Structure 1
Amino acid sequence: MAAYTQTPSLGLEETWQKLHEGIDGIMNHLEQGMTYTKYMELYTLIYNYCTSSRMQTGFSEPLGTNATNRGANLMGADLYNKLKDYLKAHLEGVRAEAANQNDEQLIMFYTKQWTRYTTASTLVHHIFRYLNRHWVKREIDEGHKQIYDIYTLSLVSWREHMFMGTESNVMAAVLHQIERQRNGETIDTGLIKKVVESFVSLGLDETDSTKSTLDVYSKHFQEPFVKATHEFYTKESEAFIGANSITEYMKKAETRLAEEENRVQTYLHLSTLKTLVKTCEEVLIKHHAGPMQEEFQVLLDQDKTEDLGRMYLLLNRLPDLEKLRVLFETHVRKQGTAAVEKVADSAASAQVGEDEDEEEAPAPPPKRGAKGGPAGRRLDVNHEVYVTSLLAVHTKYDELVKTAFKGDAGFVASLDRACREFVNRNAVCTTSSTKSPELLAKYCDQLLKKGNKQTDDADIDKQLDKVMTVFKYVEDKDVFQKFYSQQLAKRLVFHTSASEDAESNMIQKLKEACGYEYTSKLQRMFTDIGLSKDMESAFQTAMEKTHDKDELLDFSVLVLGTASWPLTAPKTEFNIPAELLKTYERFQGFYTQKHSGRKLTWLFHLSRGELKTNHVKMQNKTSYVLTVTAYQIGVLMLYNNATSFTFSDLTGATGLSKEALGGALQQLLKSKLLVTAENTKHGPNGVYELNFDFKMKKIRVNLAQQGTKEAKQESDDTHKTLEEDRKLLIQAAIVRIMKTRKMLKHQNLMQEVMQQLHQRFKPQPADIKKCIGILLEKEYIERTEADKDMYNYVA
């Protein structure tokens, strides 16, 4: 530990004279350094002076007074004031010297003097440590204002006697340097950083010397700097945008904003960032937002993704992007509508060409209907082309939203609204929004069938994800469900599914999108297939026990629940061929014995079988194997007994209606397995002969394909049943709502019905009113006597 020897204390003037010499050396010749001995000499002078009251007998203290502290208080004030006066005189001299400096020279002088002064002040602060610990602390504790520790006193003195007389000139020089940098010149940013640090250091809290504020920096640096920035960029941006394109201006604005943000990081105080950026955004973006917004449509038309991204990042700094989102939504809707128009025009041209071939006479060009497509005619659009065109538009602009608009939620919503519009209302949909879900279901059927273009389950799953993208925008999801369930039923019945896993994945996707109820019947269809396999196996085992193998046909059967499967009973009678009758009767008996309370309805129009041809050979090699419908089997088996039949002969023998027989004959005639006799045509008066010159490239020939007319008829029938289903759904919704509410006004009931059903389809107000009328007649609900616009639920 250090020990001090008490020496005789000096008076104030003698003490200060020695201190003045030492402090002046520190302030003006700091680079020469100070020895430890000199440091301790100055420290001891202050210590001895402040404690000298203990040896002075001239003081008379009241009883109980701490003489040591009291003396220190009195003597410390004199030294504090002497130092304060010295700092004032010293800084006035520095300020006078600064008056002769200009521009960069002034900044260099200011920063050099600031560095020297603060370093010297730190040393002086340590020399006066005893005064700080006792007299200064005592004064501050007693609440005396404008008393600071020695280092803070030095900063206050700089602010009052140096800074306040030079800050305007220093700031002018600093702003000039920053302007030079903005114009591309190289400057010494370290000098400006030191100026900023000095301004920040001078922010002292007058009420608490231990705290600091940014008041000096904000008022004397930030305010003039931001004002100069506003003026500079106002002038520059107006000149630049007048001489250059909007896209070039956006690049300039983007660069300038980055420069200013970097400027704050490099040599300004971080508190300036928010105000500076806001000012730049106002001048560079807000003032020119109009021309940029007008350019937005041009960039969309030209697919300028990079420029659109730059515009988004700039305009997104402003509070409102709604105008751009509206423009984007309108643009996407137009692009989607135009893409479908091309598909519709192509389909219309192809359809007119087909009609010309059929009629063998020229036809006028198709007349456009009010909403596209040949007037009064239903367009036969290729589902793959249609869905692909929808996906192409969505994919393009979805990528644009992700890339240029950074996945902005507002633009995502605009894209969704636009896609929902052109998916449901376009040239192919004409007067109804049910066409899109129908074509989407057919496209899905194509993906899930054997022989599709996809090579494995992963590829199929990717395509199904795209299907779900379009499905999300479809309003009439019940239409999709109707067609999808029919096509799934056919894939399961005819064993044409490409993959069970893919089928399950698709049902899971639909379940996630629409809920369990939407897919419950689809899942039960798979359950029925499993149960049916077990029953078929049991039947085969039973038959093998009681019959020789030669007596049994290669027979398989699917027993399906009526409630789960979208299959209808045939509308025609059918005389089962003798060759199949025994097997039919055996299974009928087996099932009745096993399930006495159930009834089997045979769907012969969906049944398939294989026949071998014996009347022709392929170069003496083998017979053709024909895949045919049950009705075609009924027709062809007749030709084992004769080679020619009239239409009426075939009708009588098979029991089929004229329509069903005509459909069965269509593929047989198209393949030329049967031919019409000379001078006859296909129809009620036709005569059908077995073609002994029948030839096909492949041994296995599928003649069980559905004809175009049958497919159209099936589609029309589906739409009709769909209308009935919707009526039942609306009625069920009304009953559910009224059962819960008990009493409800007409308009509120209409709104709640629409809300409940909007995820399946968009019910029309007229249809809801009709269903309300039906339920009034059935007395499920009733009007109140007091208010005819109010309904009561009838329990």
Structure 2
Amino acid sequence: MAELKKNPEELLPGCLQMLRDMFERSILTSNSYQHIRMVVQMFHMQKELDNEDFPPMGSGRSMRIFRVIRDYIREFVRKKAEELIAIESDDERLTGYKDFWTDYQWKSRCANSICSYLNNHWVLRYLEHYRVIRQENLFQNEDQVHYMYTLCMVIWKEEMLANQTLNIVESAKNLLRCERDGEKIETVKIAKLVESFVEVGIEYERVFDNSRLYQTRLDYREVDEFGLTTEQREMLKTYEDLFETPILEDTRAYYRIEAKQASIDGDIIKYMRMANERWEQEAERSKRCLHNAITGYRIQKEVDAAWVEEQLPFFQVRLELKASSKRMTRLPFQSHFNALLKAERRSDLLLMFKLCLRVDVAIEQLRKDFCEYVALKGREAISGIPVCNQNDPKSYVEAVLKVRDHYESMVEESFGNDCGFVKFFFEGCVAFVNRNCITEKNKKHSSHKSCELLGRYVDLALKKGGEDSDTFLEKVIVVFHHLEDKDIFQKYFNRFLARRLIMEQSGSDDLEINVISRLKALCGHEYTSTAQKMFHDIEVSRQLTAGFKEVST
């Protein structure tokens, strides 16, 4: 206790030696810990004013001890950085970095505990002074006053992570390349490097956002696409700028070269499997050693860009072996996608879909190609109807339904019922139903023919009756959906209905009513009002006729 009466300047050399023992030799006894805490507290409480302190901070010489500790820690970290620079091997350099960082983080926490009195009674007031009086960002004060742990992280960032000579990120890039090339590496080294980049983000922590009012608003803060608040994103700024950005650039450059080489032999199946494998590898690697919350998605986007987006020309041509030679020749109008469609390679189509789904340009092109392919196959199917049957409504409707059902199952199986594919599949069906070799015979009213044939199909089925009503209705509604001019179908339907009712050719009144009800549900009351009125009039007529017969007899 006699030491409390001494001038703290006299105790400073011994205090510094104890700090050196802690940082350089990892020695920190209970007595040393208490002694350093006491000296720090004495500097703060000394009644002699120091010119280096601001009057608003109160009396004392806190800045003096703060700068002494800060300068020593900076010198210590700088020497460690020089040791790492001297290591030539990337693997050994990252090993050394991992060990230094683990040790330094523990010592930083010890230093923070030692300086807890300084943190609570001087640093906090100093930061408040900068916020209220100078209206500056807390992390931009020129004296670099922070809580002691934060200060240690800031020094580590400046002397280690931002050290252009050391360039520790380059070592990480080289190690990641080695793993991508098939070599086995200790990813914990990269994980520790990432941990340090994330941890130094504490520099941007909002010191004064701990008020009760702020705490009550935590549930109402806006988050970004990664589920992070603005404050959390600010604390990842160092990680994103110094580590993530160069890693993402290197990832794309690596896979750009690999994708280009893989596309040379023209085997699209092999190419897609390799691309998917690489995508999965990067997803797993991100979980193991990167900050997966934001980097996982971004690094996969880089893989997609290199393998799909930048290789779209490869997806849009197919290499075939000509019969006349053994050279591979590009056929620009037959895409790999069309070739897989033609060959009914549904599992491979699913793989291509999954790859392209993550790239907007690619998936949009696939959807358009699928639309055109469905329209083409539909027209081919209708062209395949024998000439003598081309005016037969049953042959026509069955041909339409066969194509439609076939490719609908493909949309389910190979494209996961993706809403974009469903939309373009529908457009493809509309195209071949309304514009085909049969409809084009009447160029003036080409859209009328499909409406007429569907109307006649309904007429024939309702005359016969007996057909399963649910199956029949489903077929009619499916084709009806794809008609562009539904008003034309309405005219044919009403005409044929009137004929059936007048000539008493209807096979089932219940089925007639069901058809009208389904059309009403799809198109509204106005669409079926004429048909309903006709049916009602016939019912009234039948009742009057029956009543007249009873009276007559």
**TM-score of the superposition, structure 1-length normalised?**
0.55
SS in 2 for 1:243: coil
1:190-589 paired onto structure 2 within 5 Å:
190-203=188-201, 213-269=235-291, 270-273=293-296, 275-293=298-316, 294-316=335-357, 317-319=359-361, 323-345=365-387, 347=389, 381-407=391-417, 411-429=421-439, 431-432=441-442, 433=446, 434-449=448-463, 452-454=466-468, 460-475=469-484, 477-489=486-498, 492=501, 497=506, 499-544=508-553
**Most deviating of 217-226 and 238-247:** 217-226
SS at match of 1:8: helix
* Conserved? CA contact 2:272–2:352, under 8 Å: yes
Give the Cα–Cα distance (whole angstroms) in 2 for the partners of residues 498 and 167 of structure 1.
Answer: 91
Structure 1: how far apart are the matches of 2:371 and 2:120? Answer: 72
Flag the 1:344–1:138 CA change in 2: closer, same or farther, 3 A.
same
Partner SS, residue 255 of structure 1: helix
SS in 1 for 2:385: helix
C-alpha deviation, 1:114, in angstroms: 0.9
1:561: which partner in 2?
none
Give me the whole-angstrom Cα distance separating, in 2, the residues matched to 1:215 and 1:228: 19
Deviations 1:574-598 (CA, angstroms, capped at 9, x unpaired): xxxxxxxxxxxxxxxxxxxxxxxxx
Question: What CA deviation, in whole Å up to 9, does each residue of 1:295-340 have, x standing for no partner?
Answer: 2222222223333343344344133666545543433232222212
Change in Cα spacing, 1:131 to 1:431, as seen in structure 2 (3 Å) is: same
Query: Is the contact between residue 12 and residue 78 of structure 1 (CA under 8 Å) also seen in structure 2?
Result: no
Supply the distance in 1 between the matched residues of 2:485 and 2:246 (Cα, whole angstroms).
63
Q: How far apart are residue 174 of structure 1 and its match? A: 1.6
- Asked whether 1:91 is paired with 2:114, we answer no
Mapped partners of 2:351, 2:450: distance in 1: 36
Instruction: Give the drift of 1:224.
Output: 2.6
Find the aligned partners of 1:34 and 1:501 in 2 and give their Cα distance.
96
* Structure with more relative contact order (C-alpha pairs < 8 Å, separation 6 or more): 2
Question: What amino acid maps onto 2:285 in structure 1?
Answer: R
Task: Give CA deviations for 1:189-217 in whole Å, capped at 9, x if unaligned.
Answer: 33212101212333465898888644432
Per-residue deviation, residues 355-388 of structure 1 (Å, max 9, x unmatched): xxxxxxxxxxxxxxxxxxxxxxxx5x43222211
Q: Is 1:196–1:217's contact at 8 Å kept on the other side of the alignment?
A: yes
Q: CA separation in 2, counterparts of 1:498 and 1:109?
A: 89
Q: Deviations over 1:91-145 (max 9, x none)?
A: 2442343333632222222112112111111121111111222333343344352
Find the aligned partners of 1:326 and 1:183 in 2 and give their Cα distance.
Answer: 37
Alignment of 1:112 with 2:99, yes or no, is yes
Q: Which has the larger radius of gyration?
A: 1
The alpha-carbon distance between structure 1 residues 292 and 524, as it changes in their structure 2 partners (threshold 3 A), is same
Give the SS at the match of 2:263.
helix
Within 1, Cα distance between the matches of 2:403 and 2:36?
Answer: 85
CA contact (8 A) 2:154 2:203 kept: no
Q: Distance in 2 between matches of 1:214 and 1:328?
A: 42
SS at match of 1:343: coil
Instruction: Identify the range of structure 1 (467-476 vs 224-233) with the bigger mean alpha-carbon deviation.
Output: 467-476
**Normalized per residue, which structure has more helix?**
2
- Is residue 461–residue 502 contact of structure 1 (8 Å, CA) maintained in 2? no
Taking only aligned residues, the RMSD between alpha carbons, in angstroms, comes to 3.6
8 Å CA contact retained: 2:379, 2:432: yes
1:77 CA drift (Å)? 2.3
The residue identity in structure 1 corresponding to 2:299 is: L
2: CA distance between counterparts of 1:428 and 1:95? 80
Q: How far apart are the structure 1 equivalents of 2:64 and 2:487? A: 96
Rate the CA distance shift 1:261–1:385 in 2: closer, same or farther, 3 A. Answer: same
Larger mean Cα displacement after TM superposition, 255-264 or 491-500: 491-500
How many angstroms apart in 1 are the aligned matches of 2:346 and 2:453?
A: 32
CA contact (8 A) 1:289 1:315 kept: no
Decide whether the 8 Å contact of 2:57 with 2:125 is kept in 1.
Answer: no
Q: Any conservation in 2 of the 1:344–1:427 contact (CA below 8 Å)?
A: no
Query: Percent identical across equivalent pairs?
Result: 29
- Matched-pair contact (CA < 8 Å) for 2:309–2:361: no
Q: How many residues align?
A: 492
8 Å CA contact retained: 1:51, 1:68 = no
Q: Quick one: distance in 2 between partners of 1:398 and 1:383?
A: 22
- Please point out which of 38, 43, 48 is paired with 1:44: 38
Unaligned runs of at least 5 residues, structure 2: 131-140, 209-230, 317-334
Shift of 1:389: 0.5
Judged with a 3 Å threshold, the aligned counterparts in structure 2 of structure 1 residues 430 and 175 are, in CA distance, closer, same or farther, namely closer
Q: Is the 8 A contact 1:167 1:220 kept in 2?
A: no
Contact 2:78/2:160, CA 8 A, preserved across alignment: yes
Contact 1:7/1:48, CA 8 A, preserved across alignment? no
